[in-house]
Structure 1
Amino acid sequence: MKLVTFTHQNSTRMGAVVGNYVIDSDGSPDLPAQMLDFLAAGTTAMAAMQQWLISGQGRRIPLNEVILASPVPRPGKYLAISLNYADHIAETGRERPEYPSFFTKQSTCVIGHGTAIQQPKVSDKLDYEGELAFVIGQRCRHVPVDKAREVIAGFTVANDVSVRDWQMHAPTMMVGKSFDTCGPLGPWLVTADEIPDPHNLTIKTWVDDELRQNANTGQMLFNCYEMVAYLSQAMTLEPGDVIATGTPAGVGVKMKPRGYLKPGQTVRVEIEGIGTLANPVIAER
């Protein structure tokens, strides 16, 4: 299933995409209206959504008539791993990390497909990072690698937009990664049952019509399941938590000349089997 959070006629709720339509969850007594509540309900809600789609009772809204938010509009935790592709490590000149290295993106940075990324007033060093992200579906702790798939609700496309000069203000990188609008996610959440192997997906990033990144998720140093196992040793992971899995080579800061994002451009990240996340770039209002 492709699960979405969408706005239609001034109401924001969850649903599922089938073809060129959103199947509205409204009207089902078994489906929560909001994604976080849906994910917290676990397999019961997943089964209820499947039955709702089969029943044909849900209102069908043309996809081009809705506004897509991030599938999880305000995740409780948004954790992202750095230096997780060998080619990206090489272009940065850094050493391969011994352990997974995570930073936090504040949830207020999250936006959905089609919403504008704003170049901040305080910097023109705005950069893209196309990434696979996954969303936790069960409250969990101390998850072994071979059980990690069971706690993942699904996968989505992420753009870890970064304000490069502010990123370097502190070793945590948090502020430069958390500017408003610097967390595009979407266009939907593809449930884990539809992604048999998240570690063999083509990932590409374009700025306008220029292909900037082209890689495969099999090149990750630490895979999705290893990330779950590592993080869950330290903290409780909860439904709706988002984990971004790192970016491959081709970021703007390492181009000559620099390939920073500029107002008027559009950045697109496409991941095989999931979809395309596209966001225009504008100057901060």
Structure 2
Amino acid sequence: MKFARLLDGKKETYGIVKGDRVASREEIVYSTGVPLPTRLGGFLFEGWLAEVNDRLDGLEYERGLSEYGIMAPIAEPPKIFCLAFNYADHAQDQDRSPPDEPVIVMKPRTALCGNGDDIVMPPFVKELDYEVELALIIGKRCRDVDVIGAKEAIFGYTILNDVSARDIQFRDGQFTRAKGLDTFAPCGPWITSADEVQDPGRLKMTTKVNGRARQDSSTSKMHIKPFEIVSKLSSSMTLEKGDIISTGTPSGVALNNPDSEYLAAGDEIEMEIEGLGVLRNTVRGTRE
């Protein structure tokens, strides 16, 4: 199933997406008679989905997806991890080898934005870059899990654009500010449950900017694979329900690439990962 966090007018809600139709929280409540929580995170991670799961076949998907705004699927994740150098070709573009242990950057949750939202480029950023990434959504609290336990801990998958201000990155000598600015983590458009993704390590992934292909690759090129990433991270810290783990990007970003350009105000970015939908955002500049 695909679960979206939605904006209905000015009211936040959520629903199950099927094609271009939605079974909203309100429809699910009416159909099942179960008084569901108002937030998607509570529905997914606190037992409510399991409560109604065997009663969802009768849903009619009464409304069109286009009637809603689509928000970042997790409102307040405890942690947002982004892996660096996890694709050999992207690492080699920076004269590095992919490491055997996760090299992580933490993004603040204030960086999140949803499908259709603007990526806001502050005036002090001159080299704005894009990175399509497969993101894992943790569905159960875990610590020191093996690869099998890691697979069971993943609730589902989504797309994350690890937006990066390269000039800030190299000026600071580290990544946190360059990747942590507001709107620098577009995410979505929804969460696809793990049972619908046969092999997260073999998904086609693309980025287009203004209709032109920039990244065209596959998650098969990851160095540390998804379940192994979760296992390795859990050996260092407790993973919590709603954590987002973004697994790195392949080559094709603007950094060190003579065939690509950094983003500018007005650029339209379209990222797609096989089976997970399309994440669309537009860059908006701010005045000096």
Same fold (TM over 0.5): yes
Instruction: Please say if 1:114 is aligned against 2:105.
Output: no
Q: Which amino acid aligns with 1:208?
A: N
Q: Give the direction of change, closer, same or farther, for the CA distance of 1:245–1:49 in structure 2 (3 Å limit).
A: farther
User: In the aligned structure 1, how far is the partner of 2:89 from the partner of 2:45?
Assistant: 37
Letter in 2 for 1:265: D
CA distance in 2, matches of 1:274, 1:283: 28
1:263 partner letter: A
Q: Secondary structure at the match of 2:42?
A: helix
What's the counterpart of residue 95 of structure 1? 97
State the Cα distance separating 1:98 from its structure 2 match. Answer: 3.6
Q: Does 1:25 align with 2:35?
A: no
Match of 1:85 in 2: 87
Task: Compute the displacement of 1:164 (Å).
Answer: 0.8
Identity of aligned residues (%): 37
Give the distance between the partners of 1:147 and 1:40, measured in 2 at CA.
Answer: 17
Residues 23 and 53 of structure 1 are in contact (CA less than 8 Å); yes or no, is this contact kept in structure 2? Answer: no
| Unmatched segments (≥5 aa) in structure 2 | none
Distance 1:39 1:56 in 2: 17
What is aligned with 2:191? 189
- Stretch deviating more after TM superposition (93-102 or 270-279): 93-102
User: Equivalent of 1:37, from 38, 42, 56?
Assistant: 42
Task: Compute the displacement of 1:69 (Å).
Answer: 0.3
Pairs aligned (count):
282
Distance in 1 between residues matched to 2:25 and 2:158, nearest whole Å: 20
Cα distance change, pair 98–20 in 1 and its aligned pair in 2 (3 A): closer
Are residues 1:64 and 2:66 paired? yes
Moved more, 65-74 or 186-195: 65-74
Is the contact made by 1:71 and 1:189 (CA closer than 8 Å) also made in structure 2? yes
- Give me the whole-angstrom Cα distance separating, in 1, the residues matched to 2:50 and 2:229: 27
Contact (CA 8 Å) 1:132, 1:271: kept in 2 or not? Answer: yes
Alignment correspondent of 1:104: 106
**Within 5 Å, which residues of 2 pair with 1:80-229?**
80-229=82-231
Say if 1:247 and 1:24 are closer, same or farther in 2 by CA, change over 3 A. same
Residue 31 of structure 1 aligns to which amino acid in structure 2?
Answer: L
Would the alpha carbon gap of residues 116 and 102 (structure 1) be closer, same or farther in structure 2, given more than 3 Å must change? same
Equivalent residue for 1:50?
Answer: 53
**Pairwise CA RMSD of aligned residues?**
1.6
CA distance in 1, matches of 2:194, 2:152: 9
Which deviates further from its counterpart, 255-264 or 76-85?
A: 255-264
Structure 1 window deviating more from structure 2 (128-137 vs 94-103): it is 94-103
Q: Secondary structure at the match of 2:44?
A: helix
- 1:237-256 mapped onto 2 (5 Å cutoff): 237-256=239-258
Q: What CA distance in whole angstroms lies between the structure 1 residues aligned with 2:172 and 2:125?
A: 16
Q: Give the counterpart of 1:273 among 261, 264, 275.
A: 275
For structure 1, which segment, 9-18 or 127-136, has the greater mean C-alpha deviation from structure 2 after superposition?
A: 9-18
Structure 1: runs of 5+ lacking an equivalent: none
Structure 1 residue 194, shift from structure 2 partner:
0.2
Once residues 84 and 227 of structure 2 are traced to their aligned partners in structure 1, the CA distance between those partners, rounded to angstroms, is: 16
Pairwise CA distance, 1:171: 4.5
Contact 1:157-1:270 within 8 A present in 2 as well: yes
Counterpart residue identity of residue 272, structure 2: E
Provide the secondary structure at the position in 1 that maps to 2:99. Answer: coil
- TM-score by length of structure 2 reads 0.93
Distance 1:215 1:241 in 2: 25
Identify if the C-alpha distance between structure 1 residues 4 and 224 changes in structure 2 by more than 3 Å, giving closer, same or farther: same
Which residue identity is paired with 2:24?
Answer: D
Note the 1:2-13 alignment, pairs <5 A.
2-13=2-13
| 3-state SS in 2 of match to 1:37 | helix
Which amino acid in 2 is paired with 1:10? K
- In the aligned structure 2, how far is the partner of 1:195 from the partner of 1:171? 37
Aligned equivalents of 1:138, 1:47: Cα separation in 2: 13
C-alpha separation in 1, matches of 2:127 and 2:79: 26
Distance in 1 of aligned mates of 2:197 and 2:210: 28
